[in-house]
Amino acid sequence: MTVLEQHGAYTPAPPPSWRPRTAPGPLLPDAEPYRVLGAERPEGAEGAEAPDGELLLRLYASVVNGRRYNEQATALTKQGRLAVYPSSTGQEACQVAAALALQERDWLFPSYRDTLAAVARGLDPVEVLSLLRGDWHHGYDTRASRVAPLCTPLATQLPHAVGLAHAARLKGDDVAALALVGDGGTSEGDFHEALNFAAVWQAPVVFLVQNNGFAISVPLAKQTAAPSLAHKAVGYGMPGRLVDGNDAVAVHEVLTEALDRARTGGGPTLVEAVTYRLEAHTNADDATRYRTDDEVSAWRAHDPVALLESELRGRGLLDDAGVREAAEAAEKRAGELRERMNQDPELDPMELFAHVFAEQTTQLRAQADQLRAELAAAEDEPGHAPGHSNGSNSGSGNSNGNGNGNGRGEARR
């Protein structure tokens, strides 16, 4: 028995500062992942109406393009055109649904595995891959695109999303932020800090955890004993939603509801999308060391592309010609990406010092002057090819990827 439970103890005016602000019941996620595709929808039940056909077709075209994009980016890594590529093959439904659920004015905060979400948001795929190529900063204009830089450190993008969302609310802007993170990121302190601040401030932010089963090689069961990651929302005082991450329609529906709730003052939501990473963690990983082929095959049977295709065919919205058309469009985009990535960029070394600080520091200016002098001295050396080491090129061909390619890589790789 605590002091507050003793008979006659002082009871402060409600609500007591020691009592949780929110009852836990309404915050709890469903016992099973919410799904739409292939699920029975009893007539008259809430959400029983069939998914919008136009949305289904848009999602299908996007996941087909996303699958081919992942394949092409993986191939570019093997060819040495990318330093590393964390594939999202198998997770395309999460990526595409996240991008399409956002309003134009909203912000996306991706992790390193979320290049497809950025592309689906409308960014140039070459610009999105610049970071993984080792090129010009992170490759795209964050303010214009409202897509934060791809975040390599685990979960550090989450507090940034909360800060932006909170600032937008203080300014009266009708903006929501969507922050993407993997299951491994939920084991980081930044995850706790972000969710705690978001709930206390009632910030208009939605957290999407793509639970693909492994933090590199560590299975979820060795990271947490919680019934689900969505249950963690209750401890912070926000709703938790559990959704089938391979069901693009279900993910889109849940995220759209959560973002609408955030924009209208309802506060943050934690969404756990149960999905699976079909490929290795990156090109440096050997996934056969920690999972079986049978496990991967079981998840291939729940492929997000096949789920959408089956729904569309069943409703008469897609036939063989439509499947072929979507595949050809995706192949065309992959070919354009391959051609442009096969062109060696011309780099301007002086751009190392751009966009580091709003106003360059004394130390940074000194470093820039030193490099400028070294480049000038190198240019005066006998046998030097003019225009290659002095940074005379603006570097825009590297940052915006508008090169025409060199004709290599015509065959599908």
Q: Which two tokens stand for residue 78?
A: 């093997």
To the query of whether residue 10 is one of the catalytic residues in this protein, the response is: no
Alpha-carbon distance of 408 to 215, in angstroms, equals 36
Cβ-proximal residues to 87 (8 Å cutoff; 6+ apart), any chain: 70, 73, 74, 113, 277, 278, 279, 280, 282
Q: Do residues 87 and 345 lie in contact, with contact meaning Cβ atoms separated by under 8 Å?
A: no
Give me the helix-helix angle, 304-314 and 92-101, nearest 10°: 70
Would you say the C-alpha torsion 346, 351, 352, 356 has a positive or negative sign?
negative
| CA distances, 91 to each of 10, 69, 182, 244, 352 (Å) | 54, 12, 11, 11, 34
CA distance 59 to 62: 5
Closest to 303 measured CA to CA, from 129, 63, 78: 63
Of 290, 315, 384, 412, which residue is the catalytic one? 290
Q: Identify whether 365 is a catalytic site residue.
A: no
67 close to 269: Cβ distance less than 8 angstroms: no
Secondary structure class of 208 (helix, strand, coil): strand
Kindly list the distances between the CA atom of residue 306 and the CA atoms of 41, 91, 277, in Å, as whole numbers in the listed order: 20, 13, 16
CB 27 within 8 A of CB 238: yes
- The DSSP annotation for 367-392 comes to HHHHHHHHHHHHHTSTTPPTTSSS--
Our CA angle for 300, 301, 303, nearest 5°, is 60
Find tokens 């969507």 and name the residue.
178
Q: Helices (H) and strands (E) in the chain — how many of each? A: 15, 7
> Does the annotation mark 137 as catalytic?
no
Rounded to the nearest angstrom, the gap between the alpha carbon of residue 154 and the centroid of all alpha carbons in its chain is: 12
Of 81, 133, 281, 338, catalytic: 281
Beta strand pairing call for 205-211 and 269-274: parallel
Question: What gap in Å lies between CA 294 and CA 298, rounded to an integer?
Answer: 6
**Which of 121, 146, 231, 277 does the annotation list as catalytic?**
277
* Rounded Cα–Cα distance for residues 370 and 366 (Å): 6
Beta-carbon contacts of residue 155 (< 8 Å; ≥ 6 apart) = 181, 185, 186, 188, 189, 190, 191, 194
Query: Taking a C-beta distance cutoff of 8 angstroms, is the pair 298, 278 a contact?
Result: no
The catalytic residues are: 277, 281, 290
